[in-house]
Each structure stands twice: as C-alpha cells, then as structure tokens.
Amino acid sequence: MADRPQALPASSSVVAPALAKLAVIGDVHAHWSRLDSVLQHIAGERVDAILLVGDIGSHDLSYARRRTPERDARYLASVEEVLRRCLDLGVPVRYVPGNHDLPELPFAGNADGRLEEVAGVRVFGIGGAGPARFGFCYEWDESEIAARAVPECELLLCHAPPARTRLDLVHDGVRHVGSKAIREHARAKAQVLVCGHIHEACGGEQVDGCLCLNAGGLGTPFGAPQVGFVLRDPRLAGGWAVEHRDLGSGERRRWERIPRP
C-alpha cells in the first residue's frame, strides 16, 4: 500500500468545499459478507471518502495474551484486505484502530493522533477504547485521553463513544460505558464525531454543539449490515447531518446538527 500521508499542521488553513458526503463503516471484525453489502451500498452513493471507526481485522488478534506471530500475520492480512476492498471504491479512506486492533497499524490512512484534511473536512483521530480494560491490544484510561492534545477540527474520528449518551449504552439498556474524556473533547473541539465500539448502540445524538454518530458494528456481537453517513451542507442551519442505514430492514434515520446559541 502507499506510504502513510503526512498530517496537516494544526495551523494549516484549509479552504473546504461547500458540500461533502462521508461514509462511516462500523466495527468490521473482518466480516466479509456484511462488508461487501455495505461497500456495494456505498458505491451507489457517490461519497467523497470512507471512514472506518476501528476493530477492523479478524479475531485472530483478540486478547493480547493470545498473540503469536502466526495469529498476528493472519490479523494484519485481514486488515489489509478490509482496506483494499474499501479503496477499490476509488475514494480516500481513513481509519483509527479499535481496542481489538494494534495501536500502530502500518497501513496508509491511519488517522490516530493526526489532524488531516479528508475530502475538505478537517479530521482528527482518537483510536483505542476505555476506560475499562479487558486485556485487548489498544486500551487506555480517561486520564490518558483527557491529556491528549486534540486540535480544533470539524470531525472527530473515534473508536469509543462519548459517555452518557445513547451511543454508549450496552444491550441491557442500563449501563453507559463510553468515555467522559472523549465527550469533553467533542464538546470543545469538533462539530461532528463518529464512533463505534458498542455495536448495538447505533444512532445519533448531539452533545452540546457536536453531532455524534455511532455507526454500529458489522461483526459479532450484535453485528448487522449497516452504515453511517456524514453530510456537510451549508443549507442546513447547523451545517451538518448524520444518517444511519440498516441495510437489512431498509430503515434510515437522520439527525441534523443544531447550532449553538
């Protein structure tokens, strides 16, 4: 694959196009049939870029204690194949590693800790998940993410969802497991946030001035053929909308950003 692109410095001035449409793919976990269904759907949408929110590769990696050279090789090959299938659509692809991924994935498009311009949108990535730790390869606690330097951007590309939203609510409908630090970064630094991690918590919600989308998961548990979209449109009062589409049921849901007073 091509060399990893250079990040934009925080002081760069980018003249963004008026309109942008970005596809958002949730936790793939190398689930090939669902990924192919999602990519076929995206191919008919004329998107400007594809964003992957992490947990990209196979379960060969799984818990860090189970790593072997052979399992690592199978996992890395699966990540490369996911990215190849996405790149076949002919648009830019950016991703962050999830908690089931290696922190330093070597393939082009890794936006973790980087500020980049993607299809005219200033994107900053925060990979991994927390604050709970289960022994996966990329985990952190709240103090680490709170201390991370996050520049002003338009879109935060995260794996973990913001805390105390419907986007971090697990299947029991009671427990919120997202990150308070990511929530604070979203409130302070971005207009839109996309995430995954909690497969069953797909949907949208606004946190102060930041419109947030959990794209859901393709892989187990609670996996489904589903995809999200981020739309930048100056005709909207808040300039942005997000969509979630369940390709199995055909259900489409849309949320528009409400500008801060």
Q: What is the pLDDT along the chain (261 residues), one digit of tens a residue?
A: 444 444 445 444 544 447 999 999 999 999 999 999 999 999 999 999 999 999 999 999 989 999 999 999 999 999 999 999 999 999 999 999 999 999 999 999 999 999 999 999 999 999 999 999 999 999 999 999 999 999 999 999 999 999 999 999 999 888 899 999 999 999 999 999 999 999 999 999 999 999 999 999 999 999 999 999 999 999 999 999 999 999 999 999 999 999 877
Q: What is the pTM assigned to this prediction?
A: 0.92
Domains in the chain, CATH or no CATH each = 20-256 (3.60.21.10)
Q: 10 Å Cβ neighbour count for 36?
A: 12
pLDDT at residue 87, rounded to an integer = 98
Q: How far apart are CA 52 and CA 196, in angstroms?
A: 9
User: The tokens 């399992």 sit on which residue?
Assistant: 71
Return the residue matching tokens 């201390």: 147
Interaxial angle between packed helices 69-87 and 32-43, expressed in degrees from 0 to 180 and rounded to the nearest 10: 20
Tell me if residue 186 falls in helix, strand or coil: helix
